[in-house]
Structure 1
């Protein structure tokens, strides 16, 4: 088991990584002094460990369709009915959309109740559950309404990953691949648990330096500006990690067009992404004009287009990038039909079984 500490000025917690670490949940709940827990799970009952206290189990669904304010409101209403207090705890068990939605509900309920994450997807273990960012989508774009709410613990049980379909693993590799360009060593070929630990360690150190995303934390969005636009433009047919992978290739090309990096480093972006079996081309169906409009809604954009880009000093936020340059790089990107981009894994896209829709007390 690996333990990665995350230490902030007024809050600290550990990220436990390894097989069977979800069994630590009762100890975590006991340490917090909670008398009640609400577990929100997008996974079967058997995947949810005992909390050691009176517990309400609520069903969830991973996926963008439930990443809404309506879902947050519904969860908070259940918290009220159960009598959850500020001294109690909420537990998420699922992928990145579940940790995001549950984290935001915990941040808002009674102006903040403690939350523990049990991420069950690779994407959630290496990124979404770490660092305290919570958010839901609006029709205009991804993650436009949210809050910073740090968890009290994160339990990355790698046993969960053995149940994932191949495409869902690739989804997580999109976040691991972009780590190559924001300060991680070359993670290709390492055992999966080592890749997870390295990715979490990198993110923890960046969050410690900039919890509220006012500086260096922007580099964690490497590949995400175009990635989020691609998700929206494809109706989320392209998954987050897949879209970030394409966005990472684009970020390398844009950095090259701006003279920030040379041709070899530009090519390295595509080489790294391809080595994980991820897509590197824009969906042929994507409208470049629509992508530009969506990228203007990115949270980093203040007066113009902004991207986390590689450069002589490493990755950093570059603001006010000229639209004509971005449009030119988009036009020069390779293109492929959307079905071909996800076709590698199309036969293996079924989500793991979810908890039955009714709630239950245990």
Structure 2
């Protein structure tokens, strides 16, 4: 079992990574909490014991349930049960669950403690860490949310053994991003060490920039296109698969803008290929729709904005010409 620390201006919290981490939940429930609202999904087989009175609140599957209506239903359920500000919400599941549970905790009574028990690879390496919570609008992903740091995060690698292969590969797409954020020898590490290394990398970004006012935005590498593909909808893509395409796209866009050469593009393709992620955009992609959605990305303050590689490493690059983006999308057509 590895214990890491995420340090923020508001305080620090532990992240436990290892087999059986979910069984340590009772140790990490905030002192004084009398009730735990367990937010999860019907498809998640993992039970947890908070060591105090608890009730299960089940939310729907898929991105269509990651919305304000779900948050309202949760908060009303908390109120009917009598959950107080002194109690705790426990999110058990993947990134969608921890995003929704965290946001509900952030807004219910203007802030209730939350602990995450992450059960997917994507959640363990990224979504459950760092306190970014939120839900989608029809206009874009994660456009409504709050920064609300958890009291603790449990990353139980045992839960990854039951993931369907495609869901596991989706997590690898999110993991691949960290290779370009400074995590060395990612594919040579054991699963526990790889998860812990990604957590440590994200923790460093969060400690440096908790509210994404600067450097933390680099954690969105590959996500601008990924979120646009997910928002446009109708494409058979998981989040990590979309991120893999986003990484390929970002490397090619950086090359088109003269920031990197062919070698960097090949490095991106080699890693994404090794994780068996898609190599081409889905058929029938509407460029104009993607451009419209990407312009609404939460990083965008001055025109189309992307995290791109370059001579000084990854940087947020605003004002990217739409023509360059469209031409780069064409490079990834099947």
Which TM-score tier does this pair reach, normalised by the shorter chain? over 0.9
Q: Is the CA contact (8 Å cut-off) linking 1:61 and 1:98 kept in structure 2?
A: no
Q: How many residues align?
A: 334
- CA distance, structure 2, for counterparts of residue 184 and residue 235 of structure 1: 33
Q: TM-score, normalised by structure 1?
A: 0.90
Once the two structures are superposed, the pairs formed by residues 146-161 of structure 1 within 5 Å of their partners are 146-161=145-160
Measured against aligned partners, the alpha-carbon deviations of 1:272-320 in whole angstroms (never above 9, x if no partner) come to 1001111121112211111111111100111200001111111110111
User: Paired residue for 1:347?
Assistant: none
Partner SS state of residue 187, structure 2:
coil
- CA distance, structure 2, for counterparts of residue 168 and residue 307 of structure 1: 26
Once the two structures are superposed, the pairs formed by residues 138-217 of structure 1 within 5 Å of their partners are 138-217=137-216
User: Paired residue for 2:122?
Assistant: 123
User: Paired residue for 2:227?
Assistant: 228
User: Paired residue for 1:4?
Assistant: 4
User: Paired residue for 2:75?
Assistant: 76
Once the two structures are superposed, the pairs formed by residues 20-39 of structure 1 within 5 Å of their partners are 20-29=20-29, 31-39=30-38
Partner SS state of residue 38, structure 1:
strand
Measured against aligned partners, the alpha-carbon deviations of 1:159-194 in whole angstroms (never above 9, x if no partner) come to 111110000001100111111112221312322111
The runs of 4+ residues in structure 1 deviating greater than 6 Å are none
Q: TM-score, normalised by structure 2?
A: 0.97
Q: CA deviation at 1:232?
A: 2.0
Q: CA deviation at 1:45?
A: 8.1
- CA distance, structure 1, for counterparts of residue 139 and residue 249 of structure 2: 22
User: What are the ranges of 5 or more consecutive residues in structure 1 without an aligned counterpart?
Assistant: 336-362
- CA distance, structure 2, for counterparts of residue 312 and residue 203 of structure 1: 22
Q: CA deviation at 1:197?
A: 0.8
Q: 1:329 to 1:296 in 2, by over 3 A?
A: same
Partner SS state of residue 258, structure 2:
coil
Find out whether 1:332 has 2:331 as its counterpart: yes
Of residues 253-262 and 180-189 in structure 1, the stretch that sits farther from structure 2 once superposed is 180-189
Partner SS state of residue 143, structure 2:
strand
Measured against aligned partners, the alpha-carbon deviations of 1:23-77 in whole angstroms (never above 9, x if no partner) come to 1111111x53211111112256862221111111111234201100000000000
Q: 1:44 to 1:284 in 2, by over 3 A?
A: closer
> Root-mean-square deviation (CA), in Å?
1.3
Q: 1:310 to 1:45 in 2, by over 3 A?
A: closer
